[in-house]
Amino acid sequence: MYRTHNCGELRMDNVGQTITLSGWLQASRDFGGMTFIDLRDRYGITQLVFNMEDDEALCNQARKLGREYVLKISGLVRERTNKNPNRPTGNIEIEVKSLEVLNAAKTPPFTIEEDTDGGEDLRMKYRYLDLRRKKVQDNIIFRSELAIETRKYLANKDFIEVETPVLIKSTPEGARDFVVPSRMNTGEFYALPQSPQTFKQILMVAGFDKYFQIVKCFRDEDLRADRQPEFTQIDCEMSFVTQEDILNTFEGLTKHLFKTTIGVDLADFPRISYDEAMEKYGSDKPDLRFDMAFTELNDVAQQKGFSVFDNAELVVGICATAQANAYSNKDIKALTEWMQQPQIGAKGLVYVKVNPDGTFKSSVGKFFSDDDLKVWANKMNAKPGDLLLILSGETEKTRKQLNNLRLEMGRRMGLMKEGDFKPLWVLDFPLLEWDEESNRFHAMHHPFTSPKKEDVDRMMAGDHETMKSLRADAYDLVINGSEIGGGSIRIHDRALQSRNFDLLGFSKEEAADQFGFLLGAFEYGAPPHGGIAFGFDRLCAVLKGQSSIRDFIAFPKNNQGRDMMIDAPATISAEQLEELALLLQKKEVER
Amino acid sequence: MYRTHNCGELRMDNVGQTITLSGWLQASRDFGGMTFIDLRDRYGITQLVFNMEDDEALCNQARKLGREYVLKISGLVRERTNKNPNRPTGNIEIEVKSLEVLNAAKTPPFTIEEDTDGGEDLRMKYRYLDLRRKKVQDNIIFRSELAIETRKYLANKDFIEVETPVLIKSTPEGARDFVVPSRMNTGEFYALPQSPQTFKQILMVAGFDKYFQIVKCFRDEDLRADRQPEFTQIDCEMSFVTQEDILNTFEGLTKHLFKTTIGVDLADFPRISYDEAMEKYGSDKPDLRFDMAFTELNDVAQQKGFSVFDNAELVVGICATAQANAYSNKDIKALTEWMQQPQIGAKGLVYVKVNPDGTFKSSVGKFFSDDDLKVWANKMNAKPGDLLLILSGETEKTRKQLNNLRLEMGRRMGLMKEGDFKPLWVLDFPLLEWDEESNRFHAMHHPFTSPKKEDVDRMMAGDHETMKSLRADAYDLVINGSEIGGGSIRIHDRALQSRNFDLLGFSKEEAADQFGFLLGAFEYGAPPHGGIAFGFDRLCAVLKGQSSIRDFIAFPKNNQGRDMMIDAPATISAEQLEELALLLQKKEVER
């Protein structure tokens, strides 16, 4: 037997008991006559004591042990004279009577502490050591708890968890698929699912009524820091529901998760339309921990002789409360340059400072009188001491630029407070999005999303321009500026689905080849249905107030899609390629 | 709003209420003046009534609806005059006031009934219709419940569910991997996991202490009826445990699942060694719903002049209780031929009938006196009326043949009773298995399994023959002759693991290349650990007394690894191949 207790559970009640513990040597302190060892496991840390006077041989053995050695000890629980109130086991210690080294350990390449000295690459390679750090381990345990609470809530609401297949069929719509060559059907490939979308719809056609799954999904995309080639979704679908039913159910789930895992009570979630979100925040995932909403100034800033504004499609600004004094000319210049970086691409930045005496200081002072600026300030609800920041240009671009500026000002002003959570439903997304580059429509959500009921006739019969104005029963859940989930009411009518495939540029053959089973299913009694999927990795990170999803994945891949620990992907054998009837293209010689 | 209630919940208490239901038309009965419709959803069936006298137009509309139409109705709940006690909603019916056809349905290609008229291929192609059948839907819902109870039990025992990666690295040991070409690292491949084995061990090294996961695994094998290329495991690992800890934990899980999902109390599980299982039942997964254990007869049946027995390594038989009269000479001949079929391969079959008067009738009567046969009968605890069936030959083959015969007799005698569950732990498996064909050792469980403590020294230093006698801390859970799970205590010492790789024929380079991360991890403080994995699909089937796992998988693949509904695998585009830098080998021209 390796232990009678774990390293986190002994208390004053256990004093006098003879116990056995196993764990890792976290730290040791040698005071000549006495040696202390902190023994660690998942559950906590317990202090061990070795005394020269009691057992010299044992004490000498203990002094030689290094960090991360795996030990099994037996001994007597006793009260500590020097208690440690910061540790749950801090009132007791173990007078060790016997010691067995279960495994030795080389010196770890970085310290197993809250703040380690190891760089990211090193920690990824030795992920088994990185995962010993309490912070990282806590994240993974938190993820496990979040999954438990998710399942508890959904099972209570009659949702059934159904496993959908991982080996499916490649469909070019959307992101790039990972594919899996078939040995039994050479020349053919499976694909890994980007989501179980069509399967969950099939489950609705099959009458499962309420489906969910916490499920791995796969996208072969060029990776950014917060993307992973495999990621996890809370995937849901419901039959005989309207958008309102879905919003209520998953607002309920979100509140449940916040309450049970981090003890936060969320108020009812505000809702805004996609159009309003773009107008007020220049983003379909605004961070509402602070307001600083956009004010459009065309009616008061144009036709006053400032040609930059006069020629702009949109003049729009934000009011940074009490920031007038915080920004010197030099600061404004730096902020302007920040806005001009290629990733943002603003041409310039106009500022107006509202002085305490009612006057104004502005970079466009020669074009506008104080009376003009006063109109702006009023329109933006500015008070003395506030700083107005104004951009102009083409509507969509300018809004995106101002979104960047708003978020940057929020950061600088400390308005993104830890522990503050501001969820938001964004509704009424456009159904289709015209892509100038490829000269075709893309599905804004995905090809199975239904237009709003009142837009169905226009969609079936309308012209090209009409299509751009169609609105969908599609919705996103946004928390603190992160998109946590999105979903839609789906099409359940074959003719409407076919029309959507047409609009998206599928030929009849392509539609039949890729989604024939779904079109077929719609002919055999498909119920009205809709659903949503939450990004589980992102949800973990947002709940814990962290920015990287990678810290919530036990074995993440790096930006090159590589698992640094096992060193994958890797070459495979000639026999494997032969069995799959595959040849590798010769790489071009690099110069 | 599509419904106020579901189709399974209305009772006498609801009489008088105006309600709305949505669902599928299961059946309709037209009696001229009145039309009855059974409306179905996941929760049940409710009877709808349309009356010519009340609303002729509505009734005429209802008469035209076909099977599987999706309907929304509103109406009044009323008591039925002609109650149906077999249906939970059988006391009431709905007097329909309004009807909306939510979707029409073509006539299904097979009936959506308990026993359908559809063949397997048709049902697989239209899986969304097959899944509407109550029997199939109940299986999938049962699977969901089993997962919930599994998670409940393990979470209560401090297990943490951790997701391990799906995109890993190919390792040739064991079955064949599915591979995934990497676009970002052309010429390299990921592999899909056959199990999360190394990752769960890494989690133990990382200090997670108790891990589980209900997880998809993948094997590219030629499929038999009860195999699937993707299957699901309850995968577990524990640190600081002995075999006893693991057996107790997962015996507890199994009892919990039987109790909570099908209300069966299981007694403590018997345990036998692998050697004993082979001796007594000729199988490492004996069905213990009946005994009919083997009796070895070498000492009493050899050296009596019957050369077939005299030349055999083993003479062994079973006693079929009270079957003497049931088997005519013709029946015995047919049974012998059954044993001679190539899949079993017995040369012949010796029988002895124990007559009521103490005499014997036997196919080997001329070689053995009644006194001889009486000794056999006594040794086999045979009573008058029993039938002894005896095989001889090479030990291993003969046991396998007799295992087939024992199971066949059990089936014929009705000893495999529905609702009878006989779990069993099989222990002490050999560590290594010598494969004559490839002239090398294979791991009986897998390459990470630890030899028993007392065998470690012999393993590190012994010769070739010694290796064959090594025993492992490896165990299987068997229920009613099905292997439900298996596991082992793992090696946690680098030197011992290296030795095992040596024995299994890995070169140092291969071991480092494929499992270097694990060998490395063992140097940084690996705890003693072990685990188990349950086949989740099989567990579902065994609990429900069914033989095919396919009936518990929402979207199974057929024996060619094909998803008949979505028609996968399929060809991919030239662009996809080009991005992956792959070429297809030209297929040889078939004649």
Residue B224 has pLDDT above 90, yes or no: no
pLDDT at B437: 87
CB pair distance less than 8 Å for B208 and A565? no
Tens of pLDDT along B1-39?
999 999 999 999 999 999 999 999 999 999 988 999 999
pLDDT at A588: 54
- In 3-state terms, what secondary structure has residue B98? strand
- C-alpha distance from B237 to closest chain A C-alpha (Å): 14
Pick from A139, A125, A126, A17: nearest CA to A79: A17
CA A197 to chain centroid:
20
B512 touches chain A (CB under 8 A): no
Q: How confident is the model at residue B223 (pLDDT cuts 50, 70, 90)?
A: confident
Residue B105 has pLDDT above 60, yes or no: yes
At a CB cut-off of 8 Å and minimum separation 6, what does A27 contact? A37, A38, A67
Q: What is the average pLDDT across A538-561? A: 94
Residue A591 has pLDDT above 50, yes or no: no
Q: What is the average pLDDT across A411-436? A: 95
pLDDT at A587: 63
pLDDT at A225: 66
B82 touches chain A (CB under 8 A): no
Tens of pLDDT along A35-88?
999 999 999 999 999 999 999 999 999 999 999 999 999 999 999 999 999 999
Pick from A553, A539, A533, A476: nearest CA to A214: A533
For an interface test with A, which of B188, B524, B571 has the most A Cβ atoms less than 10 Å from its Cβ?
B524
Domains and CATH numbers, chain A: 12-103 (2.40.50.140), 290-412 (3.30.1360.30)
The Cα–Cα gap between B95 and A203 comes to 30
CB pair distance less than 8 Å for A527 and B240? no
CB pair distance less than 8 Å for B167 and A218? yes
The Cα–Cα gap between B457 and B415 comes to 45
Chain B contact set for A112 (CB, 8 A): none
ipTM score assigned to the predicted complex: 0.95
CB pair distance less than 8 Å for A230 and B165? yes
DSSP A278-317: HHHHSSSS--TTS----EE-HHHHSSSS-HHHHT-SEEEE
A234 and A216 in contact (C-beta within 8 Å)? no
Chain B contact set for A230 (CB, 8 A): 165-167
Interface of B with A in 221-250 (CB under 8 A): 222, 229-230, 232, 240-242
Task: Give CA angle at B500 (B498, B503), nearest 5°.
Answer: 115
Residue A590 has pLDDT above 80, yes or no: no
- Nearest CB neighbour to B41, from listed A163, A209, A561: A209
Q: How confident is the model at residue A113 (pLDDT cuts 50, 70, 90)?
A: confident
B127 and B230 in contact (C-beta within 8 Å)? no
Residue B588 has pLDDT above 60, yes or no: no
- In 3-state terms, what secondary structure has residue A472? strand
CB pair distance less than 8 Å for B240 and A128? no
pLDDT at A551: 92
Q: B286 burial class (0-12, 13-18, 19+ CB within 10 angstroms)?
A: buried
Residue B490 has pLDDT above 90, yes or no: yes
Tens of pLDDT along A169-218?
998 767 899 999 999 999 999 999 999 999 999 999 999 999 999 999 99
Residue B590 has pLDDT above 80, yes or no: no
Task: Give the bridge partners for B432, in sequence order.
Answer: B443
Tens of pLDDT along A459-492?
999 888 999 999 999 999 999 999 999 999 999 9
- C-alpha distance from A195 to closest chain B C-alpha (Å): 15
- Nearest CB neighbour to A187, from listed B70, B190, B584: B584
pLDDT at B591: 42
- Nearest CB neighbour to B186, from listed A128, A242, A587: A587
Chain B contact set for A22 (CB, 8 A): 240, 527
Q: What is the average pLDDT across B369-391? A: 96
Cα dihedral B210→B211→B212→B218 (10° resolution): -140
At a CB cut-off of 8 Å and minimum separation 6, what does B13 contact? none
DSSP B526-581: PPPEEEEEEEHHHHHHHHTT-S-GGGG-SS---TTS-BTTTTBSB---HHHHHHTT
CB pair distance less than 8 Å for A103 and B493? yes
Structure token pair of residue A446: 């995905």
Place of tokens 């609702």: B419
- C-alpha distance from B265 to closest chain A C-alpha (Å): 25
Q: How confident is the model at residue A325 (pLDDT cuts 50, 70, 90)?
A: very high
Place of tokens 């391990």: B164
The Cα–Cα gap between B49 and A85 comes to 72
Chain B contact set for A41 (CB, 8 A): 207, 209
A375 touches chain B (CB under 8 A): no
Interface of A with B in 282-341 (CB under 8 A): none
Q: What is the average pLDDT across A499-505? A: 93
CA distances for A359 relative to A362, A379, A381, A384, B552, angstroms: 10, 16, 15, 9, 76
Chain A contact set for B561 (CB, 8 A): 167, 182, 184-185
Q: What φ, ψ does residue A339 adopt, rounded to 5°? A: -70, -20
For an interface test with B, which of A74, A144, A588 has the most B Cβ atoms less than 10 Å from its Cβ?
A144
- In 3-state terms, what secondary structure has residue B395? helix
* Strand residues in B246-293 grouped as ranges (E): 271-273
Tens of pLDDT along B293-319?
999 999 999 999 999 999 999 999 999
- Nearest CB neighbour to A582, from listed B216, B569, B582: B582
More reliable by pLDDT, B118 or B450: B450
CA distances for B440 relative to A276, A575, B24, B461, angstroms: 70, 19, 60, 18
At a CB cut-off of 8 Å and minimum separation 6, what does B385 contact? B321, B322, B323, B324, B325, B354, B356
The Cα–Cα gap between A24 and B250 comes to 26
pLDDT at B225: 66
CB pair distance less than 8 Å for B141 and A160? yes
Q: How confident is the model at residue A119 (pLDDT cuts 50, 70, 90)?
A: confident
Chain B contact set for A129 (CB, 8 A): 206, 524
Q: What is the mean pLDDT of chain A?
A: 95
Q: How confident is the model at residue B171 (pLDDT cuts 50, 70, 90)?
A: confident
Tens of pLDDT along A216-262?
999 999 877 678 999 999 999 999 999 999 999 999 999 999 999 99
A27 touches chain B (CB under 8 A): no
CB pair distance less than 8 Å for B169 and A567? yes
The DSSP call for residue B59 is H
Residue B42 has pLDDT above 80, yes or no: yes
